[in-house]
Chains A and B, each alone.
Chain A
Amino acid sequence: MERLEIKSDYENVDWEKVIPVLMAYAYALIGVSNQRMVRSREELSYDFAIDAITKYLNEPKKFEPSRNPDLIRYLKYNILRQSIFNAKKKAANLNEIVQDEKEDEYDLEEVDDFFAVEFELDESIDVATAVASIEGEISGDEELYEIFIGRYYDESKRCEICKDLNISEEEYDNRIRRLRRLSRRILDSFN
């Protein structure tokens, strides 16, 4: 199954296809550590998804196809993720001024790195030990290990890993899901 991309005909978007995609993306990012937020995880996912779409519809000119023509990427990276990040910061009562309209500052090509630096994690997790445990757990699983090394040691991008390993993006996603399930089990054991 191909990735959903919208690179033209922006006036006639099939939002029925987009809503589940944005909801799933938000659901995964929100994670399980959202106890300090008022609404449930699925309600929040819905709120963030619709908020991203309506923000775009209200100010469509902020989306610049010349930078990257994929509207889905814009909605995920430039609006939705920033909204979740801001909400998590607010929920955590951090004494920082959270700006709602920062998306213009981001370079879409650098967004992976930005996300890795900025996203909040549950502070109770000993990340170093957790990652070491994940690595140890998958060292015997060649399919997961080569993805892990490529992505997290070599910091290769998704497309580069797919090319190096000669696998499809769908296969890459399957392995990431497996990796996540495994890491979830390990993280749960830390709590």
Chain B
Amino acid sequence: MSTENKLKAFKLLLHDYAEAVSSNQETATDFLKKEGVDVNRYVTSGIKEIRKSTFLRKAQVNMERDESLMEKALVLLKQKIEENLSLTGNMLVGMLRKKAPNVQFRSLDKLDDEEIREILSNVDLAKLMEELEKRNEI
């Protein structure tokens, strides 16, 4: 066997060994315990980290979805205001009152973007858009 192949063989041995000691949970746990590792402590800590990571990831996805919906709702409302469709405007105000009863509404055409965003932040955007789509308003 050439020196190069011996090097390769040695590395493969290391790889095979890593596979052998980690073939399943029991084998891996036994191996780590023999090495003096407190496996239970690491598993408990690891599960917490994974849950935290999963939670943060979901929060990030929700935030991105909400931002996307917010912009879509903002464009829709501004479009309706510019079209000056009083029926549509009244309907939207009525819907918004139901969704966000604590918010005081003025005439929609007097609201700027930030005020509309503030109102929409109190509304379940997904449901609002769904209802608007049902009413064929988009």
* Cβ contact of B46, chosen from A15, A25, A28, cutoff 8 A: A15
A50 and B50: CB pair below 8 A? yes
Q: How large is the interface on B (under 10, 10 to 19, 20 to 34, 35 or more residues)?
A: 35 or more
Determine the chain B residues whose CB is within 8 A of the CB of A24 once the complex forms.
18, 21-22, 27-29, 31-32
Contact A22 B17 (CB under 8 A): no
A115 x B50 contact (CB < 8 A): no
- Using A54-B50, A153-B1 as known contacts, say yes or no to A16 and B17 having CB atoms under 8 A apart: no
Residues of A within 8 A of B36 (CB): 42
Given contacts A19-B43, A151-B16, contact A53 B50 (CB under 8 A): yes
Known: A42-B35, A54-B53, A153-B1. A19 touches B18 (CB 8 A): no
Q: How far is the CB of A76 from chain B (nearest CB, A)?
A: 8
Taking CB atoms, residues of chain B closer than 8 Å to A57 are 50, 53-54, 57
Interface contact A128-B46, CB-CB below 8 Å: no
CA A1 to CA B21, docked complex, whole Å: 12
Question: Closest CB-CB distance, A81 to chain B, in whole Å?
Answer: 9
CB distance B25 to A4 under 8 Å?
yes
**Is A179 an interface residue when CB atoms closer than 8 A count as contact?**
yes
Asked if A98 is an interface residue, CB under 8 A from chain B, the answer is no
A16-B43, A31-B14 given; A21·B3 CB < 8 A: no
Q: Say how far A55's CB is from chain B's closest CB, in angstroms.
A: 10
Q: Are B6 and A127 in contact (CB under 8 A)?
A: yes
User: Pick the contact of A128 from B3, B13, B50 — CB < 8 Å?
Assistant: B3
The CA-CA distance from A131 to B11 in the complex, in Å, is 10
A132 to B6 CA separation, bound complex (whole angstroms): 8
Q: Does A3 contact B (CB under 8 A)?
A: yes
Inter-chain contacts of B7 with A (CB < 8 A): 121, 127-128, 131
Per-residue B-contact encoding for A138-160, CB less than 8 Å = 1, 0 else = 00000000000001110000100
Q: What per-residue 1/0 map shows which CB atoms of B1-42 lie under 8 Å from chain A?
A: 101011111111111111111111111110110011101001
Binding site for B on A (CB under 8 A): 1-4, 15-17, 19-25, 27-29, 31, 42, 45-46, 49-50, 53-54, 57-58, 76, 112, 115-117, 119, 121, 127-128, 130-132, 134, 151-153, 158, 169-170, 172-174, 176-177, 179-180, 183
Q: In the complex, given contacts A20-B43, A116-B11, A152-B1, what are 18 additional A-B residue pairs having Cβ atoms less than 8 angstroms apart?
A: A1-B27, A15-B47, A21-B24, A24-B21, A24-B27, A25-B28, A27-B31, A28-B31, A29-B14, A54-B49, A115-B11, A116-B15, A130-B6, A131-B10, A132-B6, A134-B13, A152-B9, A176-B13
In the assembled complex, 5 residue pairs joining A and B whose CB atoms fall closer than 8 Å, in A order, are A1-B23, A3-B24, A57-B50, A57-B53, A152-B9
